[in-house]
Structure 1
């Protein structure tokens, strides 16, 4: 029988890209779930049209609210794989993953916050006992970024420091949810892994200028990303830096000023977060025409090779952030559906996705990652600057 994939939040920007990837690279039937039937039906039709699918039945919509656990459980029980794209994940619990465990259904999500990552990892033993493979933090960052770091680390005899940085053009083509995630990430200090211990870092602090493909020199800032947690737990490195920036540069100034000058209580208000998100999203609808909606990732690992201090650096650029996120998640979903990726438990990509699997998935999706090994004459990439905007 044809495999069935349920995509929660499937009519959103990221969810629809995951659906498009699965419809393109597999023979599965996709059910996209959401709260708005009209939007969902339009999303299904758009997906069928965009990939030239001659069998409309391969993409269906079902109206499900995440709070409707009964309806959600029924939909999960009829699926071979569940892909959770209904963010933002900052305040999500792991109830969807728990339902998948109870129904013995494999699980993938696009979660992007350490608090949710911890909730999911807490279900590790239950997932192992149920025999299901749950992949969290998939997408682009986190997701592809995690595998880029693993690939870089494998080039070295010993890895000491990881520096991950990302830049996104405008909205990234990903809609309001990503805007909400950005401002939610400013709410409080977070724990970063620095010099072998957890240290509190202020979000959007310590500006550092990084050279990215396509974008050139861009300022990036500390940002709370789950890679800071999972990479440090997976590899014996002393430091993990995760920094984020946007173009046009004006948006960096805006985000930095909110993080620095707004009272913390304001950022704890859902209405304030919603206001900031909608205003920013409205602005990007204009600026996206000039900046584009692309993304660039730079992974840089400092360590030892043949007794020498070296840096292994990888870069990725693509003109559509949401599309790449969909491909990153779709690639992992495809591997789970085929049975090539099977390891009961709750995992992030760098923990179970082998480099050969990763490289093939990227090649199949025309995503090119450049990697080079360089002598470390100046350890510039691991110095955090105190300069502000």
Structure 2
């Protein structure tokens, strides 16, 4: 029986990257959705359906016709967990590319119901969060006692993503958030405390800032020995960082918290990055640094990744988990962030099969 996969938001750049990954690495038939009608290329493994997530009955029928749902219809700041709920009701496995703690908290509340239904649901897949979380898990496993996680992300221009990712950036500036620092939850201002971090070539030393990501609170849960989790994000070229800092700290808060203000800033930013992409590229860099005890000594282990296309990298992260679910290689009923769902051996296999190189070494 042929596997069928439903990709919600499959016409976006992230969803499209996931579809391409699945077409490459599986034999599944893929149904992608968007809110408006579209003509699809002649591909017998690819179907299209116009679907708004508000059309609950139509959504329910679509989910009932597949055996895996991949939710790429962001921004997730606005989403409820209804798609996951319907998947659990129909016994359908679930993956998403969610990137905001408010949504992750909603999804994790369905953990017991997913376990009872035998449904494996993996949230926060993609590149960051996603591949980045699995890099941390690999690094954590090198230690006797891990103590501190420092995650840094860098994106060139638009990263090859669409307007939705721009919205996500500005939505992430709206409110202070809680971070796990020195063994307690502390309030952090978004896009604050600039830090210059060493990334692999071609990025080298670049500035990053505090940014609210779901791994800020899922990693302390997954690795309770860890006392500090830092998640920082930056852009290339550097002047985008300064513009974002101004939006976070100088603009009136009403601009950022107004949906019209977010739309205006998102479209302006997208137009700017479309122009500068030709000079900067659309790549991504991830740096995971873990500090802890190894053989009764303080030690630091670091892993890094670069990819020429941020959206394609996200497709690799999400597509690989979808592939393992379809194959039955990954089966863990419940709702899990990726670092708790995906074993390191499977993660390594997935990255190798997709030509994604991760450099790792003791510092």
Fold shared by both chains (TM-score > 0.5): yes
Aligned to 2:156: 169
Query: How far 1:307 moved relative to its partner?
Result: 1.1
Residue aligned with 2:212, SS: coil
Which SS does the other structure have where 2:197 is aligned? Answer: strand
2:186 equivalent to 1:194: no
Following superposition, the deviation at residue 265 of structure 1 comes to 2.1
Give the 3-state SS of the residue equivalent to 2:290 in structure 1: strand
Equivalent of residue 106 in structure 1, options 85, 93, 98: 93
The equivalences for 1:347-386 within 5 A come to 347-374=336-363
The separation in 2 between residues aligned to 1:4 and 1:368, in whole angstroms, is 30
Distance in 2, matches of 1:316 and 1:120, equals 28
Kindly report which structure 2 residues correspond to 1:175-214, keeping only aligned pairs within 5 A, or say none.
175-213=162-200, 214=202
1:120: which partner in 2? 107
Name the residue aligned to 2:8. Answer: 8
SS in 2 for 1:204: coil
Q: Is the partner of 1:57 in helix, strand or coil?
A: coil
1:344-374, Cα deviation, whole Å (9 max, x unpaired): 1000111021111000000000000000012
1:53-101 Cα offsets, whole Å, 9 max, x none, are xxx2210101111000000000000001000000010121001000101
Q: How does 1:141-290 map to 2 (within 5 A)?
A: 141-213=128-200, 214-235=202-223, 236-290=225-279
Distance 2:334 2:359 in 1: 31
2:64 paired residue number: 77
CA distance in 2, matches of 1:353, 1:255: 33
State yes or no: 1:67 paired with 2:67: no
Aligned to 1:37: 37
Q: Give the alignment's TM-score, normalised by structure 1.
A: 0.92
Question: Take 1:183 and 1:13, find their aligned partners in 2: how far apart are those partners?
Answer: 19
The TM-score normalised by the length of structure 2 is 0.99
Structure 1, unaligned stretches of length 5 or more? Answer: 49-55, 375-389
- 1:93 and 2:80 are equivalent in the alignment: yes
Taking the aligned partners of 2:351 and 2:53, their CA distance within structure 1 comes to: 32
CA contact (8 A) 1:4 1:79 kept: yes
Paired residue secondary structure (1:262): coil
RMSD of the TM alignment (CA)?
Answer: 0.7
**1: distance between equivalents of 2:176 and 2:338?**
25
Classify the secondary structure of the residue corresponding to 1:215: coil
C-alpha contact (below 8 Å) 1:111/1:136 kept by paired residues: yes
The size of the alignment, in residue pairs, is 361
Instruction: Kindly indicate whether the alpha-carbon contact (under 8 Å) linking 1:188 and 1:264 is maintained by their aligned counterparts in 2.
Output: no
The answer to whether the aligner puts 1:334 opposite 2:290 as a matched pair is: no
CA distance in 1, matches of 2:338, 2:85: 20
Is the CA contact 1:142–1:227 (under 8 Å) kept in the aligned structure 2?
yes
Alpha-carbon distance between aligned partners in 2 of 1:75 and 1:173, rounded to the nearest angstrom? 29
